[in-house]
Chains A and B, each alone.
Chain A
Amino acid sequence: MDLTLTDDQLMIREAAQSFLADTSDSAAVRSAMASSTGFDAAVWQRIAGELGWCATAVPEQYGGLGLGPVALALLLEQMGRHLLCAPFFSTVCLAANWLAEGGCDASRQRFLPEIAEGKLRLTMPVNESANDWIDGKQVLRARREGAGWRLDGICARVPDAGTADWLLLPARLDERSGQHWATGMFAVPRNASGLNIDALETWDATRRFFRVELNGVTLMPQQRVDHAHRGIDGAMRSAALARLYLAAEQLGGAQACLDLTVAHTATRKQFGRTLASFQAVKHRCAEMMVRIEALRSAVYGAAAYAADSVHGEPPEALALECAMASALAADTYFYCAQEAIQLHGGVGFTWEYDPQLYFKRAQASSHWFGTADALRERIAAAVFA
């Protein structure tokens, strides 16, 4: 395995860094947070349309660039660093990722090319479990109604549901699959009748979450979109990749916390010297760097592992690599955000300075797809197997 980044990958990272430094600085993030949609439509248009970022990891046969998980992880790292407010994670890292890994052929044809072109936004609920959708514990119920389906239930937290064109919703079927209830995945348009979407006021305002309630939403047969055979492996692979992308975003956030802190301590003076000249401060910054570089190694390694892994092989090894990166990312991001506030001193406690934005995002993203503890337990089970 070679972790050398290719020239293309370096270029993608460089371009993302410079674009986001311009379009997603502190003022832009705060303006998006205060807006009704939660993101700047003009910036989204450039990201999805001009820059083609949504196409990065979409397979070429569906109109994507097919650049794979390494390139997409590099993009996410920069997005996390700049706290980009956009429906990118939901559309690309949740929905497009799931469709490519576990969707039926018709659903891929239907959605992936338009996602790649930046014309369509999709979302999915965040699965707050270390168990990859396959444990049958879905809160929505799907019953057969005529040739189609009827969906009922409540999803407590769905990112970007208020602005997405379509929602991909996993629902428990009235049939068994092995020892669990079987799960189906359903595509529901945002304006479907019987669908109520209510905005939640989250502490982390850099992302929008919605409560989604379904009261007898009726669907055509073709709106069930999971692949008949690869549903379970696909769900596991897509859950693993979603953890990887979130970990990459958290890596960028952690790096920003360190950068902010080093910059602040270099200018702030007490006792006639900069804060940065105190060894107590230096050592805490150095400790942050150690943890961040360890996380970077984990994320880049897991991304390279994902790029080498192929459909059809058992997904468990990939799941462990990504669980590893994800558990480390959740802990590292929070640690760095907490240190950033502490080392900023009084101003770190204010609304005006940015550490609080990272701090809130670090906490809010720490339990997506399972807490660090739950992911470590999953790793322990494999180690002791």
Chain B
Amino acid sequence: MNDAAIMDVPQRSAEDRFRAEIADWMRAHLSGRFAELRHRGGPGDEEAFPELRKEWERELAAGGWTCVGWPREHGGRGLSITQQVIFHEEYARAGGPGRMGHIGEGLIGPALIRFGSAAQQKRFLPEIVAGAEFWAQGYSEPNAGSDLANVQTRCTQQPDGRWQVQGQKIWTSLAQESDWIFVLARSEPGSKGNKGLSFLLLPLRQPGISIWPIRQLGGGAEFNEVFFDGALADNEHMVGAPGEGWKVAMGLLEAERGVSTLGQQMHFSHELERIVRVAKQNGRERDAQIRQRIAHAWIGLRVMRYNALRMLAGDATSLGREALIYKYYWSNWHRDLGKLAMDVLGAEGDVRSDEPDIRALQQLFFFSRADTIYAGTNEIQLNLIAERGLGMPREPRGDSPMTTNNKP
């Protein structure tokens, strides 16, 4: 099986030329000292070569290939949606490493473009574009997981105008490699839920912040707990007004729309190719059940591709149903792929290995357990689909009378 069999669709010639331009650039630059980064640093492998990957970000920046979807006036490349899709596909096809800059480029940058002050834009955006400053996100807390609005971290304004932050964030990826963190904190004492929250930008390297890695079930530790004990944010580093934090936070999550999903799918396709290669080598390709499951995985790849194309087409009559199911679909598909990979490996999968195919598939198996938990668990996704997609009743809150009325 090759990429063409899985992914190619007819393209017009201007798009073909753009595709070739990126492929050529990647071939020329993802070589030499960067060659060992190919296919590395993705989810489950984010601890790989952090320093070299930061240099790779600057290499990308020098070629004008960071922030390709941002408007030109903010230092981006101003690519159309179609061109962005092509960029992400070709980047992944070439084995481009996991992006150290993705939180800056994909989350906080677009949020600052939409909600930030001119001064904030001037201060932060060029550094993101240049691959000079890296960002971490501070949303989740020990008691604010699926219930994201249940933020306990507090911020209090000091006489000098600065904001002092007290509390704890969790599941912060790459905190030890990042320079800045954005934090959702409660600025109105006594407020509840999504009211009274503010959105702050803090330098990570300061006395009031300590970072503790969380060891994951697969042995890696790309996530952290971040403790704030008197950490300080400048007054001009609040995005939006005090109390508007929820609006900014939600707008930021919306910014990540379909364009990068096709690059993610190229990565998935590469993983399926690894499984097929292993199955051919060890003879599992003759197992009828394994053949069924591999065909089923191939079908899922086609579904995700066409689903992403529907998202990009923005069929107004579908009310965004395809976007609503996407996270649930891909994460469960990917988790199943991890199990398939280990079943194809058989006993070989039980032994730690540095052989590239085996190591990558073991990482896939372990890390894909997170896919159905982060960014909205399966259970939250099904609630959202039922409520927003099918108009079914909302879940009762813990403090509503519904729970006491449940007695038969």
User: Which positions in A face B, CB cutoff 8 Å?
Assistant: 1-5, 10, 258, 262, 265-266, 271-274, 276-277, 279, 281-283, 285-287, 289-290, 293-298, 300-302, 304-305, 308, 321, 324, 327-328, 373, 376-377, 379-380, 382-385
Task: Please give, as numbers and ranges, the residues of chain A lying within 8 Å of B291 by CB-CB distance.
Answer: 376-377, 380, 384
Min Cβ gap A327→B in Å is 6
Contact (A384, B309) CB under 8 Å given A279-B383, A285-B390, A301-B302: no
**Cα distance, A80 to B325, chains bound together (Å):** 23
For the complex, give the distance between the alpha carbons of A295 and B306 in Å: 10
When distances are taken between beta carbons in the complex, the residues of chain B under 8 Å from A290 are 325, 328-329, 385
Give CA–CA (A134, B170) in the complex, Å.
Answer: 60
Q: Among the listed A3, A286, A328, which residue makes an inter-chain contact with B310, where contact means beta carbons less than 8 Å apart?
A: A3
Contact partners of A1 in chain B: CB under 8 A: 9-11, 309
- Tell me which residues across on chain A come within 8 A of B9, comparing CB atoms: 1, 305, 308
State the CA gap A290–B299 with chains docked (Å).
15
- Pick from B201-209, B232-240, B314-322 the stretch touching chain A: B314-322
Residues of A within 8 Å of B324, CB to CB, are 293
Contacting pair B306 A289 (CB below 8 A): no
B404 to chain A, nearest CB (A): 12
Chain B 233-277 per-residue mask, 1 if CB under 8 angstroms from chain A, else 0: 000000000000000000000000000000000000000000010
> Given A274-B393, A286-B385, A383-B5, are A293 and B296 neighbors across the interface (CB < 8 Å)?
no
A297 to chain B, nearest CB (A): 4
A3-B310, A262-B391 known; A380-B382 Cβ under 8 A: no
| A297–B299 alpha-carbon span in the complex (Å) | 11
Q: A286-B385, A290-B325, A293-B321 are in contact. Are A5 and B315 (CB under 8 A)?
A: yes
- Which of A276, A282, A373, A384 is the one whose CB lies under 8 Å from B280? A384
Q: Which residues of A contact B315 (CB under 8 A)?
A: 3-5
Alpha-carbon distance between A258 and B295 when the two chains are bound, in angstroms: 27
8 of the cross-chain contacts (CB-CB < 8 Å) are: A4-B313, A286-B390, A294-B307, A297-B309, A308-B9, A376-B299, A377-B292, A383-B294
Query: Which residue of chain B has its CB nearest to the CB of A261?
Result: B390
Asked, given contacts A283-B382, A296-B322, A297-B307, whether A382 binds B5 with beta carbons under 8 Å apart, the answer is yes
List A contacts of B392 (CB < 8 A): 262, 265-266, 276-277, 281-282, 285
Mark each residue of chain B from 273 to 308: 1 if its CB lies under 8 Å from any CB of chain A, else 0.
000100110000100100110111011001111110
| CB <8 Å contact, A276 and B292 | no
A170 to B360, CA, bound (A): 50
**Residue of chain A at shortest CB distance from B381:** A286
Name the distance in Å between B396's Cβ and chain A's nearest Cβ: 8
In the complex, chain A residues whose CB is within 8 Å of the CB of B406: 271
- In the complex, what residue of chain B is closest to A272 when comparing beta carbons? B405
Give chain B interface residues in 204-221, CB to chain A under 8 Å. Answer: none
- What bracket does the count of chain B residues touching chain A fall in? 35 or more
A383 touches B295 (CB 8 A): yes
Complex: A108 Cα to B166 Cα, angstroms:
79
- Please name the 6 residue pairs, one residue from A and one from B, whose CB atoms are nearest each other, closest first: A301-B306, A376-B295, A282-B386, A380-B291, A286-B385, A297-B307
Cross-chain contact B307 with A286 (CB below 8 angstroms): no
Given A262-B392, A297-B303, 10 other A-B residues pairs in contact with their CB atoms under 8 A: A282-B390, A289-B385, A290-B328, A297-B310, A297-B322, A328-B299, A376-B292, A376-B299, A384-B276, A384-B280
Which residue of chain A lies nearest to B396 when distances are taken between CB atoms in the complex? A277
Residues 328-360 of chain B, each 1 if its beta carbon lies under 8 Å from chain A, else 0: 110000000000000000000000000000000
Residues of the A chain whose Cβ atoms lie less than 8 Å from the Cβ of B298: 324, 379-380, 383
B306 touches A298 (CB 8 A): yes
Q: Which residues of A contact B314 (CB under 8 A)?
A: 4
Task: Name which of B10, B294, B307, B314 has the most chain A CB atoms within 10 A of its CB.
Answer: B307
Provide the residues of chain A in CB contact with B279, threshold 8 Å.
384
Are the C-beta atoms of B382 and A286 separated by less than 8 Å? Answer: yes
- Restricting to B375-408, which residues have a CB under 8 Å from any CB of A? 379, 381-383, 385-387, 389-393, 395, 405-406, 408
Also in contact, A383 and B276, with CB within 8 A (given A3-B313, A377-B292): yes
B14 within 8 Å of A by Cβ? no
Considering only CB atoms, which chain B residue lies closest to A381 in the complex? B291
From residue B82, how far is it (CB to closest CB) to chain A in Å? 9
Which of chain A's residues has its CB closest to B285's CB? A384
The complex places the Cα of A374 from the Cα of B402 at a distance, in Å, of: 49
B1 interface hit (Cβ, 8 Å): yes
Most chain A CB within a 10 A radius of its CB, from B295, B303, B309: B295
Q: Please name the residue on chain A nearest to B297 by beta carbon.
A: A383
Instruction: Look across to chain A and name the residue whose beta carbon is closest to the beta carbon of B333.
Output: A294
CA A1 – CA B288 in complex, angstroms? 33
CB distance from A81 to the nearest CB of B (A): 15
The answer to whether A301 and B382 have CB atoms under 8 Å apart is no
Chain B residues whose CB sits within 8 angstroms of the CB of A377 once the complex forms: 288, 291-292, 295
B303 near A294 with CB under 8 A, answer: yes
B390 touching A283, Cβ below 8 Å: no
Query: Would you call B309 and A321 a contact (CB within 8 A)?
Result: no
Taking CB atoms, residues of chain B closer than 8 Å to A384 are 1, 276, 279-280, 285, 291, 294
Verify B306–A297 contact, CB threshold 8 A: yes
